[in-house]
Chains A and B, each alone.
Chain A
Amino acid sequence: MTLVIDRLSKRYGDVVALDAVGFQVEPGEIFGFLGANGAGKTTTMRIVLDILRADSGTVTWRGRPSTELPRRTFGYLPEERGLYPRMRVLDQLVFFAGLYGVPQRDARHTALDWLDRFRVTDLAGRRADELSKGNQQKIQFIAAVLHDPEVVLMDEPFTGLDPVNVSLLRSAFLELAAKGRTLIFSTHQMEVVESLAGSIAIIDRGRLVTGGLTRDVRRRAGRPVVRLAVEGDSELTWTAGLPGVRSIRARADVTELTVAPGTDPQSILHAALDRGAIVTCFEIADASLEDVFIELVGRPVEPGSLSSGPLTIESAA
């Protein structure tokens, strides 16, 4: 009863886009699909949607191959946003829902509901090319979910949204998941994944690197992180002398340190107190997803970048 992505492979000429990528997504789950640019996320989503055929491997949903499912099973928010520039917002939403078989009147009704929820009812009569980027994105999201698909695939749905809209979209995610819909999304914003996605998969250069429950991935792949702040000392240079302790990031508020296996994180607190420092923050946490990602993929996430899989050589911008 799950979405099973089984050993998908896809080549474009000499370029291997996907190499036996496989993972599973449970129904009603919010699933984070992570990878650097060009890792194969978009290609995987397109194969799930059957707008692209894999060279080998299968996709099944509730036991049926995706190539035999009604198209309305899936909703899609493509990475490259696209609406008809001159068409009115409500008209296009009704049009797209119509392609998925939603009767015009129902589509109108539901579309207005969604516009209301995103606090943009005034956009209904506007042309798409008059909208701000953030608003276009909200419309694009509505277009993906208007026909109430069982599975929603979203490529970078949070990119370019301000914090207010991120939180609106976040609650829409949670609501859909509560209704039993399955949501798969890719993003470079790791804190969004940490707070939303119950499970994740990380792919790199067409290969699956790791996957599973988000909590497990963080525990398994990363070392614990200690966040420490001491009054009057923002550098904390002395921690370099502690055995098995490494400073990984100096932030404005705290410094993040990792400890080698076998080293007790508490030893850092003892060391600080021994120095007579006034500790204002001491926290032991799982490795952040960002650290896990960097460790596994070997390079940092490129935030805000809009390039995509190997097919898209030329960006629309």
Chain B
Amino acid sequence: MSGHPDSGLLPNARLIARREYVEKIRSRAFAVATAILMVVAIGAALVPIGLRALDRGQTTRIGVTSSDPSVTAGVIGLVSQYLNPIPAGVDPATVRAHYALSSEPNLATGLTDVNSGRLDSVLAVAIGPTGGLDFTFHGNDGPTSATIQRLQVATFGAAVVRYSQGLAGTGSSGPTFHVPSFELQPTDLGSSVAPVDPAATGSRTLLASILVVLIFITLTVYGMWVATSVASEKASRVMELLISAGTPRQLLVGKVVGVGAAGLTQYLAILLPALLVLALQDPIATALIGPADPGEAPLVGLTVPMLLAFGAFFILGFLLYAFVYAAAGSLVSRPEDIQQLAMPLSFVSMAGYFAAIFGMTAINSRLIEILSFVPFFSPYVMLARVMLGHVDAWEIGLSLALLVAAIGVSMWIAARIYGAGVLLYGQRPGFRTFLRVAIRPGGG
């Protein structure tokens, strides 16, 4: 339908987008859904604080064993003091210990206790020929976990104290200081998983999963908004008037932009308070559950580049899917029939979503790398890579460029289907109709 002097995109696309936006924002359903989701998001943002509060109630039990009971007692005393610091000016009786250290007769009984769940881990102290100490930690904490890092410092302190005590007895010519070794020995509790550090990769993966899930849900929901909006214009027969006043491209772009803007509004309304809670997490945590203990894992780390990547892939992903959803909506006679046409599309969306979610454990694999450039998948997969793996700037650029190109193609095809589809009534809604109209819009 070219050739009309008034077939340019503006101003009609803008008028249509504005109408769509205003009607959507004003609707009761929109307000209710936004309010509910806002509460849910703020609740989700408070989860880390809740986790920390729960963590507070837990005590990590560590058994200590060595060949010399006095060494054992000395290590327990020093390490316990270090792990359970008492803030200045606070009555020691009110401070609850997070770590409970106990003496174990030997390593074997200690490990038995770990297996039976009475202990979380065992710290074995070996006394060298010169009296120097070496430590082996039998437990599932990873090398970067807060517990291990603090244990390393504490055991080093214990070794220094013991060495200085030895010097006091023997005079000045004692043995040189033996730097204590600290080894990690994972206790096998039936799982062969390498020790992971929940504080580092764990929170990143969680965050990436949340964002990928968020993109999946919103692309589907807002895509369906577009399809439903087109289908209801068709059902109410206002379409025939619209199509005689504007070109399919004006109508499509206006619709997608209007719905997208409404979606973005909802997004911001939901995310901003939640992000605010996240940003102010430490003050809020302090207010709710008291000040952070030294060494407590930092709360979620959401960075600006991550948010930018998320925003870009959300908007472009939405545009790509929304045009296809609009084309699907133009082919059904009743809004109830959209499900059938939207199904294949949601399979595509789901494939990208699952690739991203499962790919998180193998984020640097070749397949994930390739998928992160494929337009219908890249909003999910590239986002996961940006969050978890190492991605070069050119890779992100190429992925975005391919996405933009695909949006152009999808808009062109969608306009073709839309122009013919909106006048077709009583079609069997199905994927075959979709293809047939895409190939031959004029045919009956």
Interface of A with B (CB < 8 Å)?
11-13, 15, 46, 49-53, 55, 65, 67-72, 74, 76, 78, 80-87, 95-96, 98-101, 140, 143-144, 311-314, 316
Partner of A50 from B4, B333, B423 at Cβ < 8 Å: B4
Interface of B with A (CB < 8 Å)?
1, 3-7, 11-12, 15-16, 19, 23, 27, 233, 235-247, 333, 419, 423-426, 442-444
Is there contact, CB below 8 Å, between B243 and A311?
no
Is there contact, CB below 8 Å, between B3 and A68?
yes
Assess A82 versus B444: contact at CB under 8 Å? Given A68-B5, A95-B19: no
Is there contact, CB below 8 Å, between A78 and B4?
no
Q: A95 to chain B: which residues have CB within 8 Å?
A: 15, 19
Q: Pull 12 A–B residue pairs with CB atoms less than 8 Å apart, ordered by A.
A: A11-B444, A15-B444, A46-B423, A50-B1, A51-B243, A67-B3, A72-B6, A76-B240, A86-B27, A99-B16, A101-B11, A314-B425
Is there contact, CB below 8 Å, between B6 and A49?
no
Q: A76 to chain B: which residues have CB within 8 Å?
A: 240-241, 244
Is there contact, CB below 8 Å, between A82 and B240?
yes
The winner among A15, A70, A78, A82 for most chain B CB atoms within 10 A is A82
Is there contact, CB below 8 Å, between A78 and B240?
yes
Q: B246 to chain A: which residues have CB within 8 Å?
A: 71, 99
7 additional contacts (CB under 8 A) given A98-B11, A140-B241:
A13-B444, A70-B6, A71-B246, A71-B247, A74-B244, A78-B241, A99-B16
B403 to chain A, nearest CB (A): 30
Assess A83 versus B236: contact at CB under 8 Å? Given A50-B4, A71-B4: yes
* A140-B12 Cα distance, complex, nearest whole Å: 20
Q: A74 to chain B: which residues have CB within 8 Å?
A: 244
The winner among B3, B4, B23, B247 for most chain A CB atoms within 10 A is B4
Q: A13 to chain B: which residues have CB within 8 Å?
A: 443-444
Assess A82 versus B23: contact at CB under 8 Å? Given A50-B1, A313-B426: no
Is there contact, CB below 8 Å, between B15 and A98?
yes
Q: B333 to chain A: which residues have CB within 8 Å?
A: 314
Q: A46 to chain B: which residues have CB within 8 Å?
A: 423
Q: A55 to chain B: which residues have CB within 8 Å?
A: 442
Partner of A87 from B23, B235, B240, B426 at Cβ < 8 Å: B23
B8 to chain A, nearest CB (A): 11
Is there contact, CB below 8 Å, between A99 and B245?
yes
Is there contact, CB below 8 Å, between B23 and A86?
yes
Is there contact, CB below 8 Å, between B425 and A313?
yes
Is there contact, CB below 8 Å, between B245 and A100?
yes
Residue of B nearest to A312 (CB): B425
A281 to chain B, nearest CB (A): 45
A136 to chain B, nearest CB (A): 11
Residue of A nearest to B247 (CB): A71
Residue of A nearest to B236 (CB): A82
A89 to chain B, nearest CB (A): 13
Q: A50 to chain B: which residues have CB within 8 Å?
A: 1, 4
Q: B245 to chain A: which residues have CB within 8 Å?
A: 71, 96, 99-100
Q: A101 to chain B: which residues have CB within 8 Å?
A: 6, 11
Is there contact, CB below 8 Å, between B237 and A78?
yes
Residue of A nearest to B248 (CB): A51
B74 to chain A, nearest CB (A): 79
Is there contact, CB below 8 Å, between A311 and B15?
no
Q: A12 to chain B: which residues have CB within 8 Å?
A: 443-444
Pairs A-B, 7 closest by C-beta atoms: A12-B444, A82-B237, A313-B426, A314-B426, A82-B238, A99-B245, A13-B444
A96 to chain B, nearest CB (A): 6
Residue of A nearest to B239 (CB): A82
Is there contact, CB below 8 Å, between A68 and B4?
yes
Is there contact, CB below 8 Å, between A52 and B244?
no
Assess A84 versus B236: contact at CB under 8 Å? Given A13-B443, A46-B423, A314-B426: yes
* A49-B444 Cα distance, complex, nearest whole Å: 19
Is there contact, CB below 8 Å, between B241 and A82?
yes
Q: A143 to chain B: which residues have CB within 8 Å?
A: 241
Residue of B nearest to A101 (CB): B6
A105 to chain B, nearest CB (A): 15
Residue of A nearest to B441 (CB): A53
Residue of A nearest to B6 (CB): A70
Is there contact, CB below 8 Å, between A49 and B244?
yes
B338 to chain A, nearest CB (A): 16
Q: B27 to chain A: which residues have CB within 8 Å?
A: 86
B277 to chain A, nearest CB (A): 35
